[in-house]
Amino acid sequence: MQLTETIAHRVKEAIARSTWRSVDPVLLRMMQEANANEKRMSVRWGMWAAVLCYVLYGAFDWLLLPDVAYRLVMVRILVGVIFIGLIEFGFRKNFSLTALNILAALAIVTGATGWLLFALETTHQTALSNFMMFGTVFVLGANLFFNFRFMISAISSATVTITFALTALLSLQTELANRLVLAAYFINSLVFSLYLSWRLGSERYRTFLHSLQARIQEQAAVERGQMLSEIANTDALTGLRNRRAITRDFTDLCEQWATDDSKIGVILIDVDYFKRFNDRLGHQAGDDCLVSLANALSATATANNAIAGRYGGEEFVVLCKVADCDHLHNVMGKLCRAIEDLRIPHPSTDIASGIVTISAGASLSRADKSADFYSLLQEADRALYISKFAGRATFHIYDRETMNEDQPHQDIPELLRTALEKQLVSVVYQPIYDVENGSVLGYETLMRLRNLHGELISPAAFIPVAEHTGAIVELGIWVIDRACRDMVEYGLGAVVSANVSPIQLKAPSFPLRIAEILQRHGLAPHKLALEITEGIDIVPEAQAEWNIQQLRSLGVQIWLDDFGTGFAGLASIRHFEFDVVKIDRSFLHDCQTAEGRMMLHDMVKLLRNLGHMVLVEGVETAGQQALLRRLGVHAMQGFLVGRPLPLETLDRAKVDRVA
């Protein structure tokens, strides 16, 4: 039985309806059809019990009406056999419950009237008058013994009552008073039993309604639970399994495949240059892209007996049952090709095809209960970084032997964990110049990392890993501390700036740590600037907004970095009061065309009208510097005026001049 909203509405109205009003025909039919087989069985065995009692009552025929007893007993047996046969036939032929009830009611009427017809021939009229009182058994049987529909009960019991009452009044050869009492007795029995039948039927109906209401509420609760469970285990954007569900799926796979020789492959997927895609085309395009990728990954995973999920951001995870490393390699190739076949144009990618691609890393383990999902995921993560360093749009499988060889980039997470302790991290300073007079205004602090062999690792390689692992928190604080120390000791102009990670900006203790650093070094707060990249969507982040307000109240300058490339746009520059807005280098490089120059002109004009100091990055030619001067840009950075250098190799004359 399907409990729809329409049924729920009918049940609600039926329960509120008065008992005396008509019942809902749809709900009544549902009640009659509910447990129909059990009810059919009840009619069958009820008929056997009634016939048995009917035949046994023949003993009273021999005792009270001996002159016609033989015929009466034969009538009882004949009627019993006929209707038992009909009931059995109907039951085996799957007659409806209503048909079986009609047969049973017909048996009651036939048994009562057939016996009475032959009993009237007796000469023992007084005994018959007394014995006729037992005819109420037929009335009670029609109204109470069998659970007939009220109309069937009323017709069958009324037929018996009228027959016996008229017979008592017109055919019995006894005193009138006796006949009147007997007729009245039958009529009263009919009225009371019909009333009880109606009441019982009404109670059964209302009980059914409340039971149905309880089932509807239970079904609604189950559906809500299933919905909540689905929400809790489903990524809201893509509809794939989320991190929680994937973790549980891995446990289930371990138990499912623990008895065979299969292995579990854990594939970690990252969308190549997705930040650039999102920055250029916006949130909606980025979301649409992720949904398309998720659909392709899900279809490919399903076709290969695998499970796809979204692990977070632009990262996806695929769990698959494979026979060996070659099998896993084949699955990864299909996943990469499925994404490439979408042919989604990428406006800012280093991939030659110019389309959205993915990089993947995987790890392989025996499918047993000792398998550790997070260990396999960490191995897949390391393999993923190898894919990225290999040029992206490719995939690698973790190999414990080759991964432990001398490959400087592959152990970045481990390297970052010990970078401060082993003094592998350092800073360089890039000067910031006044566009109009060419003086040094200050310096931007940039972090550098070397491996154990002394080789520099690109910030593009280790910064994402540091943010992914959380190592950026302590490394970022160390950089700010070093910048403040050098500012006090060597004098690095009017201001020294440092980049702030979104992980740091959202930490509740971040303003207190900055205040402690400034106090410890005795540096005036306005001499420190913290650069927030536009790639951080800080507007909806309450903690980040609070931290920015606390830093501004402390006196620290807040700069917006990479303006025009990320999430913030006008929302951030309207929401926050930035001391400096840095326009991304890509807009300056686009000035080779008239459209590019017009765009940069409009951006500078907008920022100046809003009262922001404007700094443009990436100045590499004298022509670009001249253009910035014409546009009224305040400050500039770039290789033309100064590359990032360690403190000891900075131009001392410039440092001394601005000290």
490: CATH = 3.20.20.450
- 117: its two tokens: 């017809």
Phi first, then psi, for residue 355 (nearest 5°) are -120, 170
Give 577 or 434, the one with higher predicted confidence.
Answer: 434
Residues 504 and 552 in one domain: yes
Residues 463 and 387 in one domain: no
For a pLDDT cut of 70, what percent of the chain falls above it? 88
Per-residue pLDDT for 566 more than 60? no
Domain-located, residue 235: no
We report the CATH number of the domain holding residue 298 as: 3.30.70.270
Distance from C-alpha of 511 to C-alpha of 550, rounded to nearest angstrom:
6
Cα→Cα distances 506→178, 313, 355, 542, 571, Å: 100, 17, 33, 9, 18
Distance from C-alpha of 315 to C-alpha of 467, rounded to nearest angstrom:
14
- 257: its two tokens: 């495949």
Cα→Cα distances 624→509, 580, 590, 631, Å: 41, 20, 11, 11
If we measure between CA atoms, which residue out of 428, 456, 398, 156 comes closest to residue 266? 398
Q: What's the 3-state SS for 567-626?
A: CCHHHHHHHCCCCEEEECHHHHHHHHCHHHHHHHHHHHHHHHHCCCEEEECCCCCHHHHH
Per-residue pLDDT for 354 more than 90? no
- Round to the nearest angstrom and report the end-to-end CA distance of the chain: 85
Residues 463 and 553 in one domain: yes
Domain count for the chain = 3
Residues 431 and 289 in one domain: no
For position 1, what pLDDT does the model report? 52
For a pLDDT cut of 90, what percent of the chain falls above it? 36
Residues 646 and 534 in one domain: yes
Domain-located, residue 523: yes
Looking at residue 495, the DSSP 8-state letter turns out to be E
For position 257, what pLDDT does the model report? 61
Strands 395-397 and 528-533 come out as unpaired
Using the 3D structure, point to which of 345, 370, 403 is the last residue of a domain: 403
119-133, 143-157, 331-345, 568-582: least confidently modelled range: 568-582
Helix (H, G, I), strand (E, B) or coil at 257: coil
Domain-located, residue 110: yes
For position 410, what pLDDT does the model report? 47
For position 657, what pLDDT does the model report? 41
CA atoms within 13 A on the CB side of 649: 9
Helix (H, G, I), strand (E, B) or coil at 354: coil
Per-residue pLDDT for 406 more than 50? no
Which residues have a Cβ under 8 Å from the Cβ of 278 and sit 6 or more positions away? 285, 286, 567
Distance from C-alpha of 635 to C-alpha of 582, rounded to nearest angstrom:
9
For position 70, what pLDDT does the model report? 93
Residues 287 and 197 in one domain: no
Which residues have a Cβ under 8 Å from the Cβ of 248 and sit 6 or more positions away? 233
Distance from C-alpha of 565 to C-alpha of 275, rounded to nearest angstrom:
9
Distance from C-alpha of 464 to C-alpha of 38, rounded to nearest angstrom:
68
Q: Which residue has the tokens 């746009």?
A: 569
Residues 87 and 192 in one domain: yes
**Phi/psi zone of residue 286: left (φ > 0), alpha (ψ -120 to 50 degrees), beta?**
alpha
Residues 253 and 357 in one domain: yes
Burial of 64 (C-beta count, 10 Å sphere; 0-12/13-18/19+): middle
Which residues have a Cβ under 8 Å from the Cβ of 325 and sit 6 or more positions away? 364, 397
For position 404, what pLDDT does the model report? 46
Q: What is the pTM of this model?
A: 0.44
Domain-located, residue 229: no
Kindly report, residue by residue over 617-630, the tens digit of the pLDDT. 988 888 899 999 99
* Amino acid sitting at position 309: G
Domain-located, residue 474: yes
Residues 136 and 25 in one domain: yes
- In the predicted model, what is the mean pLDDT of residues 176-199? 88
Distance from C-alpha of 249 to C-alpha of 240, rounded to nearest angstrom:
13
Domain-located, residue 275: yes
Residues 356 and 439 in one domain: no
Domain-located, residue 505: yes
Domain span holding position 641: 412-658
Cβ-count burial 248-278 (b if 16+ within 10 Å, e if not): ebbeebbeebeeeebbbbbbbbbbbbbbbbb
pLDDT band at 259 (very low <50, low <70, confident <90, very high): low
Cβ-count burial 618-647 (b if 16+ within 10 Å, e if not): bbeeeebbebbeebebbbbbbebbbebeeb
Give 228 or 234, the one with higher predicted confidence.
Answer: 234
In this structure, the chain runs to a length of 659
Residues 385 and 522 in one domain: no
* Amino acid sitting at position 518: L
Residues 423 and 350 in one domain: no
DSSP symbols for 427-450: EEEEEEEETTT--EEEEEEEEEEE
Give 609 or 12, the one with higher predicted confidence.
Answer: 609
Helix (H, G, I), strand (E, B) or coil at 235: coil
For position 496, what pLDDT does the model report? 95
Domain-located, residue 331: yes
Using the 3D structure, point to which of 202, 217, 232 is the last residue of a domain: 217
pLDDT band at 14 (very low <50, low <70, confident <90, very high): confident
Using the 3D structure, point to which of 403, 433, 453 is the last residue of a domain: 403
Burial of 461 (C-beta count, 10 Å sphere; 0-12/13-18/19+): middle
